[in-house]
Amino acid sequence: MLRHLPSVLQRKFKVVLFFLLLLALLIHMVLDLAFSSGRGSCGCSPKIADPMGLLPADPSAAVQNKLNLRILQDFSGSNGSLEKGSRLLGGTPYPGDRSNMDHQGHSFKHQEAEEKIVWADRSKLAALFDHPLYKIPTPAVMAKDKLFVTNAKIKFQLKSSRSDEWVSGSMAVMARLTEQMAKDPYPPWLRFNTGINRYELYGRHDPARHALLEDLATQEIVSSVQKPGGTQLKIIMTFPNKGKALFKPMKQTRDQETPADFFYFSDFERHNAEIAAFHLDRILDFRRIPPVSGRLVNIAKDIRDITSDQKLFKTFFISPAGNVCFYGVCSYYCSTEHALCGKPDLLEGSMAALLPGEKLAKRRSWRSPWRRSYSKTKKAEWELNQNYCIQVRQTPPYDQTSRLLNLIDMTVLDFLMGNMDRHHYETFEKFGNDTFLLHLDNGRGFGRHSHDELSILAPLQQCCIIKKSTFLRLQLLATEPYRLSDVMRESLAADHLSPVLSEPHLRALDRRLQKVLAVVKSCLTNGEERVVLLDDQGGQQAATSEQEKETSSAA
């Protein structure tokens, strides 16, 4: 065909064909270069992160880490001694021990860096935790100050319990637990437990807290049994990673106030009070309440269908409205009249991380000196004697000022919540008398937002002493940039059951905070500052001298 075309047309056709071939070649080269640059300079496959979020040096090291999982050491035989059981056995650091985390340190710093990035929006909550008063370091944690040390010879093994009430003896459940522990040998609950020390339950920016809260809200529930004892229903739930949580179901809606005619010991425990108490305790920088998260639970699938507790199982029924209900077995509010019903099977509740068991970390229960009479007619001695604190300060362990100061911290927390039900408190026996108080069982807080029970402040009013650091933080939370109600609202917004508190309860926090400050200022009027505001930081307090002036002028 080309032979019949004029020579000029033939030349033009050949030139066009040549340019088309050249264009195709150029396109192919460009695509090839783009593809090679997308793959990066290294053609190796990406490394797989281990359960702690770290990149192992080599595959054999990752396997060895999983095989060398260690269990918490039992200190129950030490009888509370500060020395026995405090030595590092075998010389090998436990992976969850924050002070001996060489290979985990990079991961924790990375997570803390991410947390600071989140704070970059300069919210009130972020600004609060970035404040110098929230950066005062705790004393150096020595081996004897840790609740747990390591034992390289003991490995974590799953064993079925021989208890009649706790026989989750299903081989399928045990297999799932074993599989999960193989995937995540250092779960958040284990890291949380190994971080407990003489001075705090968890660090200010401990990544284990974030992960543990998420586990409490989302982990699959593989077993549920009722916690024995107590006046109201509580359920212990187990997760695939062998973590456990205490579930308190919803009994009242958020806007239901406790009637004025109710005695404090007749009130219901509120699930949202447990959640809010954890957030308030952290905002006050006490950090003495175990992490608590809200959760929507399917009471049929997550309790009835998997429980091995026959007494609990027998209390389930279907209501006339077609909802799944149950009431459990307890001293007072466990009957068909007080049944808890889902909609049709979903029920809100609080999930609190359990502290290490008594066999692992024995706790001592103390009766509060300002315990109420729990009588409809009688008053306690402290209600009749305004000089009662003199008597208390002559009685061990309150003859040590640190114990009394810690108790007054708890008093401030209870007053802000409106909790009148603080009859006992606990401490870890290993640490003796020189340690913080555990702020447990806060379900009777946040009952009445319209009433401030000033009698809760009796220890502060009668003793007229408070930690200087606590007072400075209270002053800070009374200022507009760090207002307590605002930071609480923001903190609670992260919970899965948000909103946790109604607005009247949040406003009550600001009002009550002013009353706490008024009591302290009254004490300062009648006494010397050095006697009322006790320096609990020693030399470390000098770092906050400038901030003290700032908060005082702002207040």
Catalytically active residues are 421
State how far the alpha carbon of 221 is from the alpha carbons of 267, 295, 308, 380, in Å: 29, 12, 13, 43
Provide the CA 324 distance to its chain's centre, in angstroms: 30
In contact, 359 and 76? CB cutoff 8 Å? yes
Residues with Cβ within 8 Å of 74's Cβ and at least 6 positions away in sequence, in order, are 359, 360
Half-sphere exposure of 353 (CA within 13 A, CB side): 28
> Cα dihedral angle (393, 399, 403, 408), rounded to 10 degrees?
20
Sign of CA dihedral 34, 40, 42, 44: negative
Provide the CA 190 distance to its chain's centre, in angstroms: 13
- Residue 19 to residue 15: CA distance in whole angstroms: 6
- Residue 121 to residue 518: CA distance in whole angstroms: 33
Classify residue 476 by burial, with Cβ atoms within 10 Å: 0-12, 13-18, 19+: buried
Pairing status of strand 363-367 against strand 317-318: unpaired
Sign of CA dihedral 226, 227, 229, 231: negative
138: which 2 tokens?
A: 């705790």
> Cα dihedral angle (26, 31, 37, 43), rounded to 10 degrees?
-120
Q: What are phi and psi of 370, to 5 degrees?
A: -105, 35
Residues with Cβ within 8 Å of 161's Cβ and at least 6 positions away in sequence, in order, are 167, 168
State how far the alpha carbon of 516 is from the alpha carbons of 442, 459, 532, in Å: 19, 12, 14
State how far the alpha carbon of 137 is from the alpha carbons of 21, 195, 200, 204, 424, in Å: 72, 16, 12, 10, 29
**CA angle, residues 386, 391, 394, in degrees to nearest 5:** 150
DSSP state of 541: G
